[in-house]
Structure 1
Amino acid sequence: MNRLCYEARFCCRSRWTASGLNFICIQLIIFRKDKRYLLFSLATAVIGSLQFGYNTGVINAPEMKLKSFFNVTWYKRYNKDIDPGVCTIVWSVAVSIFSVGGMVGSFSVGVIANQFGRRRSMILVNSLAVIGGLLMGFSTICSSYEMVIAGRLVIGLFCGLFTGLTPMYVGEVSPTPLRGAFGTLHQLGVVVGILIAQIFGLEALLGSDDLWPLLLALTVAPAVLQCILLPFCPESPRFLLINLNREEEARNVLVRLRGSEDVRKDLQEMKEESAKMAMEKKVTIAELFRTAAYRQPLLIAIMLQLSQQLSGINAVFYYSTGIFSSAGVQQPIYATIGAGVVNTIFTIVSLFLVEKAGRRTLHLLGLGGMAVSALLMTVSLLLDNIAGMSYVAILAVMLFVAMFELGPGPIPWFIVAELFSQGPRPAAMALAGCCNWTANFLVGMSFPTLQGWLGSWVFLIFTGLLIVFFIFTFIKVPETKGKTFDEIARGFSSGAPPPSSSTEDPPASASTAVTLPASPVKEKVPLVEAPAAAPSPVAETTPLEAKQGSTGEQVEQV
C-alpha cells in the first residue's frame, strides 16, 4: 500500500490531471477492507440514479405497444378506433408528464432532505416508485391508459426527488479528496439505467405485447432493494453535525466510513462550513432577479440549462426507435441500444476531459458536434429511400449522443454551481433545475406533433437552436476552470471575462463540480456542490509543484 501511495504522489508531480488522480484514489480505496462500508453506502445510494435513468429510457421501446393499448382501450369504451391525432396527444402526455413530476420533485428536495434526513428521505421517496410502478403494471388489467399517465407522473416526482437526494448523500459521505470522483457515480448510474431499460425493452425480453406492463413496473424491484439496504447505511455525517448539531454521532459515522479513528480534519471542515453558512445570507429566487449582480450569471445559468434540453437529446432518447424506423433501419431497437452504449462510454470519457479541456471549450465542442449530427439526421430521414441512408441515421444518432455527453450533458451543472457563491447557489440551482425540467417537458410534449407537421425536417429546429446556443456560449459564457469564485464575480462586475488561471491544472475543488445533480436542491446546505467552493487566494498562487505535492499528501492520507 505504501508503494501505491508513493506511485500516486509521483503521478501527481508528473502533472497528471485531477481526473487521473481521482481514478488512482478510487483504486486505492477499493483494495482497502476498511473502506467497504463506504463503498456499500455509495452503491446503495446510486440505485436511485439508476432508477432515474431507467425510467427516462424505458418508455422508448414499447412505443407501438402502448399506442396499440391506447387504441384497444378507446375501442372498448367508445366502440370506435382512437383518432390518430388523439393517440399522438395521449402518447405525448404519457411521455412528457414524467417531466412535470420531476419539476415538482426538484423543488421539494431541500425541504424533505432537511426535514427527514438524507437516508430516511430516500426510504420514504421509494414508496413513490412502488406506487408509480404498480399503477403502470396494472394498467392493462384495468383497461386504463390513464393509469399509465398517472404512473409516469408519480415516477417523475420520484425521479425529481432522487436526482437531488442521491448526489447529496454521495457527496456528504465521501472523503473530501474523492468527493468529485465518487460524485460522478450519479451520472454514470443514470446512463447505465437508460442502457438497462433499452436492453430489457427488447422483444425477446420484456418488450413484447404481453410483457410491456412488467417492463414499466420493473422499477418497483430496485426501489424495494434500496429500502432493504438503506437501514444498513449511515445517515449523512454532515446532516448530523450541521443540521442536527449531533457532533458525537457524526464522529462515530465518520469513523466507520473512513475506517480510522482520526476524523478531526473532517469534523473541523464541517464546523467551518457551518460557521461560514451562518454568516452568508440565503438568497431567494425573487432576489436573484432583483439584484443586478446576479442577473448576468443567472442568464447564463438559464441559457445553459435550456441548451441541454432544447438540444433535442430527449427527443432522441424518447423516440429513437421511431427515428430509426423512419430511416429504414431493419432492427431499430438494437440501434437504440447501441446509442445507449455510446452514451455510457462517452459519459466516462467526459469525466477525464473536463478538467483538462475546460468547461466552455467542451460545451462549444458538444453544441457544434450536435448541430452537425442533427443535419445528418435530417438528411438521412429525407433520403431514406437511398441505400445506405439507414447507416447514416445510426451514425448521426451515435454522434449526437456522444457530443451531448462531452458538453451539454454534464457541463451546464458545472458552470451553474461555479457562477454562484454559497448564499445564492441553492436558489440559482432550483431555478436552473426548474428551467431544465420545463424544457424537458416541452420537448417531450411537442416533438411527436412537430414530427407529424414537419416530417423529416423536424431536426432542423434543433439545429437552429444549437447554433443559437453555440453563439451565446461563445460570446457570453466564461471559462470557469481553475478560477476562484471571487475571480468569476470580478469578471461579471467589470463586464469582462474572468481572468485566466495562473496555473495549468485546476484546483481540486473544480473536479468536485462533476458531482452536481441533474436537478436542484432547494435548501441543501452540505450538498455536493458545497465542496466546489474555490480555494483561498493563497492556494491559487501556490506554485504548481507545491500544489501537486499537497495533492500527493491527500492521496497518502486516503
Structure 2
Amino acid sequence: MERETHEESGDFAPESPLLGRGNPDFPGKSSSATACVLLSTFVAVSGSYVFGSAIGYSSPAQSGIIDDLNLSVAEYSWFGSILTIGAMIGGAMSGQIADKLGRRSTMAFAEVFCIVGWATISFAKVAGWLDAGRFLVGYGMGVISFVVPVYIAEITPKDLRGGFTTVHQLVICFGVSITYLIGSFVGWRILAAAGLVPCLVQLIGLSFIPESPRWLAKVGKWGDFEIALQRLRGEFADISSESDEIKGYTEALDRLPKGSMLDLFQRRYAGSVIVGVGLMVLQQFGGVNGVSFYASSIFISAGFSSSLGMIAMVLVQIPMTILGVILTDKSGRRPLLLVSATGTCIGCLLVGTSFFLQGLMLLKETTPFLALLGVLMYTGSFSLGMGGIPWVIMSEIFPIHMKGSAGSLVTVVSWLGSWIVSFAFNFLMNWNSSGTFFIFAAFCGFTVIFVAKLVPETKGRTLEEIQSSMNSVSL
C-alpha cells in the first residue's frame, strides 16, 4: 500500500501522483512541535503512565496482598496475569472502538474502566474483588496500548514521529519505576489508590486537546478537521497545503473497501503481518512481563535485597528509555532493536547462570550480584529498544484501511503472550529457575535473527515508501 497509512501521521511524499508535489516549504513547517502537539502528547501519554503503573503494581504489592488476603502462589499468579486477559479483550476491541468513537473519546472510554478497576482493588476484601479490579484495569490498558501510539503518530510530523511515539514507552517505564518506588514505602491499598491519579489527569486533559485531524477527515468532519489541524500546526501556520493533501488522500481512501480481520491474511499483507505479529510475540516471550511483574521475587530467590534491586532497576530503566527515545529517529529502528535484543539475551544468560551456580552450591557470594547484573542488563536493554520500537513499527507498517483490524490483531497477540508468560512465570521458576531464563535467552537470541532478516528500517521514510516496499497494494 503506497499511500494508505499517510493519513495517520501527516506524511505525504512530494512525488505522490495522487497528491502532487505540494509546497516545497511545507516539510520544514510540519517538522516543528508546537505547544499544542506537546500538550496533546502529554495528555495521551498520561494513559501510558496508567499502563506502566498497572504492570509495576504486582511486584511491590505481592507480599502485602498474599499476607493480608492469605493467597496461595497460584492465586497470586492468577491475580497478576488476569490483567493481561483483560488487556487481550480490550486490545481485540481497541481498533474498532478507536475507528468509531475517535482517538480522544477512546482514551476517555479506557480510563473509565481503569478508574473503576483501581478503586475496586484498593477496597477489595476478598480475592474475587481483587481479581475483578485487576481485570478492569487490564481491559482499559489493552485499549490504551493501541490508541495512544496511534494518536501520537497521527498528530506528529514524520521526522518527529519515531521519537514522539516512543515517548509512549518512556512513560510506561516511568509508570513502572515510580510504582516500584512508591510501593517500597506504602501498602498495596494506597498504591492502588495512587493509580487513580494519572487516570484523572488524562480524563480531564482530554477536554483541552484536539481530536486527531486524520480521524476527523476520515469520518468527513471537515470543519472540525480544519480547526484541529490549525491548532496542532500553530495559529499562524499556513495549513492549506497539508489540508489539501489530506483531503485529496481521504477521497482516494474512500474508494477502498473496508478491511476485515480475514483480509489481513491475504498474501499482499504477509510482510506487514509477519513483522508486526512476530515482533510482539518475541517481545513477550523474551520474558519481559515475568521480570516486570515479579522482579522482587526474582531478587529474593537470587539472594539479593528486593528493595535495593528494584531501585537499581529504576535507575537503569529511565535513562535507557530516554536514550532510546533520542536515538529512534537518529540511529534508526533496526540498530536499536538488534542491540536491545542482544542485551536482553545476555541478561537472561547471566540470570540463568546465577541460578544454575546456586543449584550447584558454587560461588555463593557472587551469584546474587550476577543475578542483579543480569536483571539490570535485561531491563536496560529492553528499555532501549524492544520495549517501544515494536509499537512504533506497528504504527508505521499497516495500511490505513486495515489499521483497526491489524491493530487489534497485533495488540491481542501481544497481550496473549504477556498472559502466558506472566501466569506461567512463578510455576516455571518453581520448576527450574535457571531453565526459565535460558528459555527466555533463546527467544531473545532468535529475536536478533528475526530483526536482521525480516524487519525493515523505517527511519526517515514516509509511510507511503514503507507501504510500497512491504505491501503490493495500490490505490
Classify the TM-score, shorter chain.
Answer: 0.7 to 0.9
Rounded to whole Å, the distance in 2 between the matches of 1:364 and 1:171 is 23
The equivalent position to 1:92 in structure 2, one of 77, 80, 86, is 77
Q: Aligned partners of 1:492, 1:253: CA distance in 2, in Å? A: 31
1:154 shift after superposition = 0.2
User: Following the alignment from structure 1 to structure 2, what is the Cα–Cα distance between the partners of residues 134 and 378?
Assistant: 38
Shift of 1:250: 2.7
Task: Supply the distance in 2 between the matched residues of 1:171 and 1:493 (Cα, whole angstroms).
Answer: 20
Letter in 1 for 2:229: L
Q: Quick one: distance in 2 between partners of 1:111 and 1:297?
A: 19
Task: Give yes or no for contact 1:360–1:477 (8 Å, CA) kept in 2.
Answer: yes
Report the equivalent of 2:93: 108
Q: Determine if the alignment matches structure 1 residue 437 to structure 2 residue 436.
A: no
- Does 2:64 match 1:65? yes
Deviations 1:278-314 (A, max 9, x none): 233443222232x233335423332221110000111
Instruction: Show the counterpart of 2:441.
Output: 463
| Separation in 2, partners of 1:421, 1:235 | 20
Asked whether 1:452 is paired with 2:426, we answer no
Correspondence for 1:367 among 341, 344, 361? 341
Which residue identity does 1:318 align to in structure 2?
F
C-alpha distance in structure 2 between counterparts of 1:151 and 1:254, whole Å: 38
**SS of equivalent residue, structure 2 residue 432:** helix
2:108 to 117, 120, 123: 123
The equivalent of 1:228 in structure 2 is 204
After TM superposition, give the deviation of residue 123 of structure 1 in Å.
2.7
1:26, 1:178 within 8 Å by CA — same for their partners in 2?
Answer: no
Which digits, 9 at most, give the CA deviation of each residue in 1:105-157, with x for residues without a partner?
11222333333333333333322122101110111xxx311111111100001
Instruction: Say if 2:382 is the partner of 1:391.
Output: no
Q: Is the 8 A contact 1:53 1:192 kept in 2?
A: yes
> Match for 1:351: what amino acid?
V
**Deviations 1:251-273 (Å, cap 9, x if unpaired)?**
23333341226322332232133
For residues 398 and 26 of structure 1, the distance between their equivalents in structure 2, rounded to whole angstroms, comes to: 39
Secondary structure of residue in 2 paired with 1:458: helix
Matched, 1:406 2:379: no
**What is the aligned partner in structure 2 of residue 165 from structure 1?**
147
Cα offset for 1:450? Answer: 0.8
Distance 1:328 1:306, change over 3 A: same
Q: Would the aligned equivalents of 1:288 and 1:294 in 2 still touch at CA under 8 Å?
A: yes
- AA aligned to 1:338 is A
Kindly provide the amino acid, as one letter, of the partner of residue 439 in structure 2.
I
- Within a 5 Å distance, the mapping from 1:341-356 to structure 2 comes to 341-356=315-330
> Is the contact between residue 85 and residue 419 of structure 2 (CA under 8 Å) also seen in structure 1?
yes
Residue identity in the other structure for 1:368: T
SS for the counterpart of 1:66 is helix
**TM score, norm. by length of structure 2:** 0.83
For the 8 Å contact 2:159–2:460, the answer to whether it is kept is no
Do the aligned partners of 1:377 and 1:459 also contact (CA within 8 Å) in 2?
Answer: yes
User: Aligned in 2, Cα 1:223/1:467: closer, same or farther, shift over 3 Å?
Assistant: closer
Q: In the alignment, what sits opposite 1:302?
A: 277
Separation (CA, whole Å) in 1 of partners of 2:308 and 2:202? 30
CA positional deviation for 1:62: 1.6
Contact (CA 8 Å) 1:188, 1:348: kept in 2 or not? yes
The 1-side partners of 2:420 and 2:137 are apart by 18
Contact kept in structure 1, 2:87 and 2:138, CA below 8 Å: yes
**What's the counterpart of residue 546 of structure 1?**
none
- Alignment TM-score, normalising by the size of structure 1: 0.72
CA–CA distance in structure 2, aligned partners of residues 472 and 288 of structure 1: 21
Residues 340 and 279 of structure 1: CA distance in aligned 2, closer, same or farther (over 3 Å): farther
- Alpha carbons of structure 1 residues 50 and 255: separation in structure 2 relative to 1, 3 Å: same
* 1:317 is aligned to 2:314: no
Identity across aligned pairs (percent)?
Answer: 30
Asked if the contact 2:41–2:152 (Cα under 8 Å) also holds between the matched residues in 1, the reply is: yes
Distance change >3 Å, CA 168–CA 365, structure 1 → 2: closer
Length, aligned pairs only: 442
Cα distance, 1:26 vs. partner?
12
2:254 alignment partner, SS class: helix
For the aligned residue pairs, the C-alpha RMSD in angstroms reads 3.1
Which of the residues 180, 188, 192 maps onto 1:216? 192
SS at match of 1:300: helix
**What is the aligned partner in structure 2 of residue 242 from structure 1?**
218
Q: In 1, Cα distance between the equivalents of 2:236 and 2:302? A: 58
Residue matched to 1:187: 169
**C-alpha displacement of 1:442:** 0.2
State the 1:398 CA deviation.
1.0
Q: What is the match of residue 44 of structure 2?
A: 45
Residues in 1 aligned to 2:61 and 2:221: alpha-carbon distance in whole angstroms: 49
Kindly name which structure, 1 or 2, has the bigger radius of gyration based on alpha carbons. Answer: 1
Gaps of 5+ in 1: 1-23, 30-34, 72-81, 495-532, 535-558
Listed one character per residue, the Cα deviations across residues 156-192 of structure 1 (whole Å, up to 9, x for unaligned) are: 0111112223233333444565444433332221111
Q: CA deviation at 1:481?
A: 4.7
Please state whether the residue corresponding to 2:58 is helix, strand or coil. coil
1:153 lines up with 2:135 in the alignment: yes
Name the CA shift for 1:136/1:281 in 2 (closer, same or farther; >3 Å): same
Q: Contact conserved, 1:296 with 1:492, CA < 8 A, in 2?
A: yes
CA contact (8 A) 1:420 1:485 kept: no
Residue in structure 1 matching 2:306, options 323, 332, 351: 332
